[in-house]
Amino acid sequence: MSELVRFGVSLEEGLLRRFDDLIHRRKYTNRSEALRDMIRQELLKQDWEEGGEVAGAITYIYDHHTRELLSRIIDIQHDSQDVIISTQHIHLDHHNCLEIVAVRGRVKKVLQLSDSLRAIKGVRHCALSMTGTAEETLR
């Protein structure tokens, strides 16, 4: 584990009060944990802007009765084998299916895959959740 370094931070009273409220709502045990998470998040954003590597999940719901839909989904997934780790298919009801696609790769490729799936006629909803993979950012 890396060595902890203490440092001081000066904030306006109102800003500190709002930060403490946020800490309480998100169930942090102390300000240090909240600050570490905020710093990590900003570093991840920087990595993503610079084309860094991410891991995450693309979830989408679609009507499997839509003509040619499954064929288009499979074609897109085959074209993205370099970022797809795994897929899970769930039957929600007679018409609707949920797919969860686990991904890992460069942010640009992951975004392209998510956008391609979202744009298919018959896909009713699509969401991408990403996080970083860089060890130095996640510590």
Q: How many CA atoms lie within 13 A of 73 on its CB side?
A: 24
If one looks up domain 53-138 in CATH, what number appears? 3.30.70.1150
Angle between helices 13-25 and 31-49 in degrees, nearest 10: 90
Parts of the chain with a pLDDT under 70? 1, 134-139
Q: What is the pLDDT of residue 49?
A: 78
Which tokens hold the place of 92?
Answer: 């929600």
Which tokens hold the place of 62?
Answer: 């679609």
Counting beta carbons within 10 angstroms of the beta carbon of residue 44, is it exposed (0 to 12), middle (13 to 18) or buried (19 or more)? buried
Q: What is the pLDDT of residue 3?
A: 86
Counting beta carbons within 10 angstroms of the beta carbon of residue 58, is it exposed (0 to 12), middle (13 to 18) or buried (19 or more)? buried
Instruction: Locate the domains of the chain by residue range.
Output: 13-49, 53-138
Give the percent of the chain with pLDDT over 90: 71
Asked whether the beta carbons of 34 and 42 are under 8 A apart, the reply is no
Q: What is the pLDDT of residue 136?
A: 45
- In the numeric block, the tokens 């860089």 are attached to 134
Q: What is the pLDDT of residue 134?
A: 61
Q: What is the pLDDT of residue 47?
A: 77
Q: What is the pTM of this model?
A: 0.76
